[in-house]
């Protein structure tokens, strides 16, 4: 191994998809994109890339527009979801700009054709980008209404042959109840996909969880608030919850 190449053997997960909510990009604001928050995320991604990880991202669009909310107010659901997909493209372009400003080569691929601003989604091209050390951001979900960005993230993680899907949230794992509302809630270290679905623990869309279960790709839920948390997860350290087929730590 050349001296300037990172030692990937130290990583538990070498190729990952990082799922961020659109709301995470708001930072302290109530709407839109907070650039200092994006810089913090970009620095964490850069550190993970420097450690040897191959990284792709899916970012939601709830900080700009949420299709379900639009439909609830009387919009046609398919039309509202299309607007939500466009919001994810805006977030992807913002994150690309911030990543490249700190020297991280990045490509955005959209499930909707937008050749003027980003690449179309092509699986093998995306895999090649990752092999070359580029961060790939997948936008516009799967390109169809009625599917969440969670499902899009699950699908892309499987298509990219990722070792895990990492879900960055505001809490440090999966709890028996909402820890903000229930002081007795306890965190799972490991939990099985089926248990997650049966207990209706709202971590990801159930269809996304089922897709990950059927393809035996673990989901790791961790807090984005903790400094160095992404690197810790890649090395199998820190506080998080691993969701796997058996719910055992060895998986």
| Sites in the chain below the pLDDT cut of 70 | 1-7, 248-251
User: CA-to-CA distance for 247 and 230, rounded, in angstroms?
Assistant: 21
| Domain extents in the chain | 8-244
Judged by DSSP in three states, 47 sits in helix
Residue 251 is predicted with a pLDDT of 45
User: CA-to-CA distance for 63 and 66, rounded, in angstroms?
Assistant: 8
Residue 6 is predicted with a pLDDT of 65
User: CA-to-CA distance for 115 and 89, rounded, in angstroms?
Assistant: 12
Q: What residues contact residue 72 under an 8 Å CB cut-off, 6+ apart? A: none
Residue 249 is predicted with a pLDDT of 59
Q: Which CATH number fits domain 8-244: 3.40.50.300, 3.20.20.70, 3.40.1160.10, 3.30.70.1290?
A: 3.40.1160.10
Q: Tell me: the pLDDT tens digits for 2-13?
A: 545 666 778 999
Residue 72 is predicted with a pLDDT of 75
């Amino acid at each position: 191994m050349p001296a300037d190449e990172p030692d990937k053997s130290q990583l538990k997960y070498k190729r990952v998809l990082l799922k961020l909510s659109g709301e995470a990009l708001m930072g302290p604001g109530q709407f839109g994109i907070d650039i200092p928050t994006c810089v913090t995320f970009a620095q964490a991604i850069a550190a993970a890339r420097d450690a040897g990880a191959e990284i792709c991202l899916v970012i939601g669009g709830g900080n700009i527009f949420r299709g379900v909310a639009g439909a609830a107010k009387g919009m046609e659901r398919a039309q509202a979801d299309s607007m939500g997909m466009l919001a994810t493209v805006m977030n992807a372009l913002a994150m690309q700009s911030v990543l490249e400003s700190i020297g991280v080569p990045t490509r955005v691929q959209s499930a909707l054709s937008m050749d003027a601003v980003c690449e179309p989604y092509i699986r093998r091209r995306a895999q090649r980008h990752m092999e070359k050390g580029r961060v790939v951001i997948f936008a516009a979900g799967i390109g169809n209404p009625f599917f969440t960005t969670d499902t899009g993230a699950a699908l892309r993680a499987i298509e990219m042959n990722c070792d895990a899907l990492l879900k960055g949230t505001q809490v440090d794992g999966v709890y028996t109840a909402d820890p903000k509302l229930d002081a007795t809630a306890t965190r799972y270290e490991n939990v099985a996909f089926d248990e997650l679905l049966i207990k209706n623990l709202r971590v990801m869309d159930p269809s996304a969880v089922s897709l990950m279960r059927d393809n035996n790709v673990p989901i790791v839920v961790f807090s984005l608030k903790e400094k160095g948390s992404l690197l810790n997860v890649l090395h199998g350290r820190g506080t998080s919850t691993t969701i796997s087929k058996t719910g055992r730590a060895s998986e």
